[in-house]
Every structure is written in C-alpha cells, then in structure tokens.
C-alpha cells in the first residue's frame, strides 16, 4: 500500500445492471482491498452489482428500490457519513456523482467522479457544473473523454487519465480450449467465427454488424457471428428480422458472466459502435489474442492500431465493415499477427495498473502527496 494509512473509501454507482462500469468498480474494489483499504459499495437495492458485491463479501449500502430520485437514500447516506466519516467518495457514473455530492456536501471528504461515456447532455453547462464544481477530481477513461471534458469547461488540472483495467490471461487459449469453447456454442473448427460483446443499446451498432454479416455470409459461407449481451434493442424489429434471416449462422449468446467461455472461440472481434467512451470489450478481446475491427470513434481509436492490431473503419457503415471483414478473412497469417500484436498492446491496460493509479490519486487528494 502506497498511502501512509488505510483509506476509508465509498464507491457509488446508480446502475441496475452489471455492465462495464460496474465490473470496473468491482475490479478496483478487489485491488484496493488487497492493499488494505476499507470500502463500502453504495448501489441500488437488488441490483446486479449489489448481488455480486455481497457474494464477494464487500460491505454494501442499499439505495431503496421504491425511492424516486433516491431522496431517502441520499438522506440515509448523509447520516452514515456523519456517523462514520470517510476519506474518499468515488462516484462511478453520472447520476451516482449527483447522489454522492448531495450526500456529502459541506463535509470534509474528497469527491472523485469517473466518466466513461462519450455523450454530452443537451445543456453542456450541467456537465461543467458536475465535473468542475461538485468533485475534487475527475477520472477520464480515455484521452477522448479528457479532451471533450476540457472543451466543456472542466479544468485540465482536475482531470486524471486512468484507463479501465482488464484481467490479461496468463496464456493464449490452446487449440483444445478453442475447440471445446466452440463446440459449447455449436460451432466447428472450420467455421470463421466473428464475435461482438456489448449492451444492446443504439450506440453499440449491433444492427450494423448484422447488416454487414448478411452480405458477408453470401461470400464467405463458413462465417458465423456470435453476439453477446442484453439490452433494450435486442428485441427491436430490425435485429429480430436480420437474426431470423441468418438462422443458425448467428448466435445470440445473452449476457456473458465468464468471458473465458466466449473469447477463446473467436477468430475476430468487431465493435462497430457509433460512439464509445473507451471500449473495454475490445480490449478484453485483444488480451485473448484477437484482432479487432472497430469504428474510429472515441476511445476505440486509442485502443486499436489500424493495420497493426486490427482495422479502424468509418462509423455506422455496414459496407466499410464488410470490406474490413473480407480483407481479414482473406489473410489468416496477417490476422494471427494482428492478434499477437493486440495481446501485447492489451497488457498495458492491466487491472493492477488501474488500481495503482487510482490509489495514487486518492492519496494525493487525501494527504497532498506528489
């Protein structure tokens, strides 16, 4: 532990699910626990984060379910902070930052806010207010988000660039593991397996992937597509229609709890997002030695090196994705080299690095350490 004493840290997240931000919170909490810090996780009652946090024996503070605006939850949290002061209150999403500020205003605590999403509110002054005045430091997970925040009026001195961290597998999947994982999903060794993992929301671009794959299937009969995730657009008419037309060539995998049951099966990963703050799914794929074809948007353009770890393409363009897929499938040797390069690049984004840098930020805020 680099701090002079253990810190008392409160993490706040308002999301009901277990998406990238919540997984990063848990990874950070595990690392900080190993370093001796005391932590409390504040999250909605009966949320997936609460379930997972309790299973891992983290103390939790539940925001009541039937509490519009979390008014009662904020009052309860404020009472807790008065009774048991903390050093750091770290909000992991935008709404969580509002709750953290309301609960801790005028108290001697340092407030940290993580920003992972790339979109801006309609009234940009609210962005400046939230991240320039209601927190002591803002964590941007990509240079794209850092620059966008500066343009919105957040002082550069207040922004810390700390990328999300991933667990990098000690070794690449063996041929046996690859075959077993493929068989579990109903695919064979000769299939060219393309995968995508992400929440089914409009900005993730699953409909772009499906449109490109429909055209690819006509020219590459052995191609197969695995779409992992859940969300509001999963059952949209367009996605339902395209999946029905492709039949057994596409597999809707649902939410994946263990990534080791998904990534080893793949030959290639795609992320045709229309906007993206960071792109942790692409980074995990790279850690498994997979080349990535991604839209040139947000943090994805910082993760994928075009022509070295995969391809960067025009956003929201099925024809561009199709051409990139055809080019990748036509050169297996280059595809393998891209995958090796991708794994090497992903090793720079380990959970341990993310935890160390976040802990260092906490210590600077609390003790004034350089």
Q: Edge-to-edge strands of the sheet including 310-313? A: 250-254, 223-228, 192-197, 268-271, 292-295, 310-313
Q: What is the pLDDT of residue 370?
A: 61
- Tell me the pLDDT tens digit for each residue of 153-171: 999 999 999 999 999 999 9
Average pLDDT value for residue range 227-234: 95
Average pLDDT value for residue range 235-251: 95
Range 175-348: architecture per CATH: 3-Layer(aba) Sandwich (3.40)
Average pLDDT value for residue range 208-236: 96
Average pLDDT value for residue range 114-142: 91
Average pLDDT value for residue range 169-195: 96
pTM: 0.93
CA dist 354 and 360 (Å) reads 10
Burial track 97-121 (b if 16+ CB lie within 10 A, e otherwise): bbbbbbbbeeeebbbbbbbbbbeee
User: What is the dihedral angle through the alpha carbons of 174, 266, 276, 216, rounded to the nearest 10 degrees?
Assistant: 160
Average pLDDT value for residue range 341-345: 97
Is the pLDDT reported for residue 354 higher than 70? yes
H or E element in which residue 86 lies: none
Q: Percentage of residues in the chain with pLDDT exceeding 70? A: 99
CA distances from 149 to 89, 93, 129, 178, 253 (A): 21, 15, 11, 42, 35
What is the DSSP secondary structure assignment for residue 114, as one 8-state letter?
Answer: E
Q: What is the pLDDT of residue 312?
A: 98
Q: Percentage of residues in the chain with pLDDT exceeding 90? A: 93
Is the pLDDT reported for residue 97 higher than 90? yes
Q: What is the pLDDT of residue 13?
A: 97
Q: What is the pLDDT of residue 4?
A: 83
CA dist 74 and 88 (Å) reads 16
- Tell me the pLDDT tens digit for each residue of 303-335: 999 999 999 999 999 999 999 999 999 999 999
CATH 3.40.50.2000 residue spans of the chain: 8-165+350-367, 175-348
Instruction: List the beta bridge partners of residue 306.
Output: 310
* Chain CA centroid to CA 287, Å: 14
Asked if residue 74 lies in contact with residue 55, where contact means CB atoms within 8 angstroms, the answer is: no
Confidence band, pLDDT 50/70/90 cuts, at residue 61: very high
Rg (alpha carbons) of the chain, rounded to whole number = 21
Taking all residues of the chain, what is their mean pLDDT, rounded to a whole number? 95
Q: What is the pLDDT of residue 120?
A: 81
HSE at residue 338, side-chain half, CA atoms within 13 A, is 25
Sequence-separated (6 or more) residues with CB below 8 Å from residue 162: 139, 140, 141, 354, 357, 358, 361
The yes/no answer on whether domain 8-165+350-367 falls in CATH 3.40.50.2000 is yes
């Amino acid at each position: 532990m680099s701090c002079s004493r253990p810190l008392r840290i409160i993490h706040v997240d308002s999301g009901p699910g277990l998406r990238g931000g919540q997984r990063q919170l848990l990874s950070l909490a595990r690392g900080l626990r190993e370093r001796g810090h005391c932590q409390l996780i504040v999250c909605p009652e009966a949320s997936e984060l609460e379930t997972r946090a309790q299973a891992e024996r983290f103390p939790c503070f539940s925001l009541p379910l039937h509490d519009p605006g979390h008014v009662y939850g904020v009052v309860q949290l404020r009472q807790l902070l008065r009774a048991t002061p903390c050093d750091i209150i770290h909000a992991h999403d935008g709404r969580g930052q509002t709750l953290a500020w309301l609960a801790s205003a005028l108290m001697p605590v340092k407030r940290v806010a993580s920003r992972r999403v790339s979109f801006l509110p309609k009234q940009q002054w609210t962005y400046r207010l939230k991240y320039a005045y209601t927190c002591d430091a803002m964590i941007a997970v990509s240079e794209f988000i850092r620059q966008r925040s500066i343009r919105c009026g957040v002082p550069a001195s207040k922004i810390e660039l700390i990328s999300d961290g991933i667990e990098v597998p000690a070794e690449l999947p063996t041929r046996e593991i690859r075959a077993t994982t493929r068989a579990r999903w109903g695919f064979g060794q000769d299939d060219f397996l393309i995968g995508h993992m992400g929440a089914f929301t409009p900005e993730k671009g699953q409909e772009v992937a499906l449109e490109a794959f429909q055209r690819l299937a006509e020219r590459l009969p052995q191609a197969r597509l695995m779409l992992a995730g859940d969300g509001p657009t999963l059952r949209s008419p367009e996605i339902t229609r395209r999946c029905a037309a492709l039949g057994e060539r596409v597999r809707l995998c649902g939410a994946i709890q263990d990534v080791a049951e998904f990534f080893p099966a793949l030959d290639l990963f795609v992320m045709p997002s229309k906007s993206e703050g960071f792109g942790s799914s692409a980074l995990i794929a790279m850690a498994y030695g997979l080349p990535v074809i991604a839209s040139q948007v947000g943090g994805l353009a910082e993760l994928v090196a075009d022509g070295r770890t995969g391809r960067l393409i025009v956003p929201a363009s099925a024809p561009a994705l199709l051409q990139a897929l055809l080019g990748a499938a036509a050169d297996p040797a280059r595809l393998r080299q891209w995958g090796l390069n991708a794994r090497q690049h992903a090793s720079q984004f380990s959970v341990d690095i993310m935890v160390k840098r976040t802990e260092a930020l906490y210590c600077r805020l609390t003790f004034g350490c350089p």
